[in-house]
């Protein structure tokens, strides 16, 4: 067995092992910790106006619930705006600028709460 072949087997084993991580894996714990940090950040910075959880209405009616953001654009596309400063068309919304690790945490959290769009009954009939 050549060195390259052995290295390929190790890489495959590591990759396959990563797909089947146990629930108490340090990798999953780190991801959960990142998501928890993101949840705290959006609650502290955005929760006065936006619904930041899986349920509930936004305190400010014009502010979209964060769980619906993916209906308009991919959540990961918010990373640059979060790092450089989110500016909206609403003068009431302050400009927020987050550090890179905080951006990762916010995106990780937002990805966990996104609603899956309901199937359009008319589309189901057309198929």
Domain of residue 38, CATH code: 1.10.760.10
The pair phi, psi for residue 96, each rounded to 5°, is -110, 135
Q: Is residue 13 one of the residues assigned to a domain? A: no
Q: Is residue 38 one of the residues assigned to a domain? A: yes
Give the pLDDT of residue 19: 45
Q: Is residue 104 one of the residues assigned to a domain? A: yes
Q: Is residue 8 one of the residues assigned to a domain? A: no
Residue 108 has which token pair? 């990780």
Q: Is residue 112 one of the residues assigned to a domain? A: yes
Domain extent for 100: 29-116
How many folded domains does the chain comprise?
1
pLDDT in tens, the chain (127 residues): 544 444 443 443 444 444 444 444 454 455 678 999 999 999 999 999 999 999 999 999 999 999 999 999 899 999 999 999 887 777 888 888 999 999 999 999 999 999 986 655 565 555 5
d(CA 9, CA 3): 10
Q: Is residue 59 one of the residues assigned to a domain? A: yes
Give the pLDDT of residue 30: 56
Give the pLDDT of residue 12: 38
Residue whose structure tokens are 């640059």: 80
Give the pLDDT of residue 2: 47
Q: Determine the 3-state secondary structure of 126 from DSSP.
A: helix
Give the dihedral of Cα atoms 98, 100, 102, 107; nearest 10 deg: 100
**Crossing angle for the helix pair 26-46 and 100-113, to the nearest 10 degrees:** 90
């Amino acid at each position: 067995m050549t060195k390259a072949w052995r290295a390929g087997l190790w890489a495959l084993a590591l990759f396959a092992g990563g797909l089947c991580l146990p629930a108490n894996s340090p990798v999953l714990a780190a991801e959960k910790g990142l998501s928890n940090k993101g949840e705290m950040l959006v609650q502290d910075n955005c929760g006065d106006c936006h619904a930041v959880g899986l349920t509930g209405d936004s305190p400010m009616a014009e502010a979209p619930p964060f769980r619906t953001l993916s209906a308009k654009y991919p959540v990961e596309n918010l990373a640059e705006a979060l790092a450089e400063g989110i500016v909206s068309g609403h003068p009431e919304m302050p400009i927020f600028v987050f550090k890179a690790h905080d951006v990762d945490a916010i995106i990780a959290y937002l990805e966990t709460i996104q609603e899956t769009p309901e199937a359009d009954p008319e589309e189901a009939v057309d198929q």
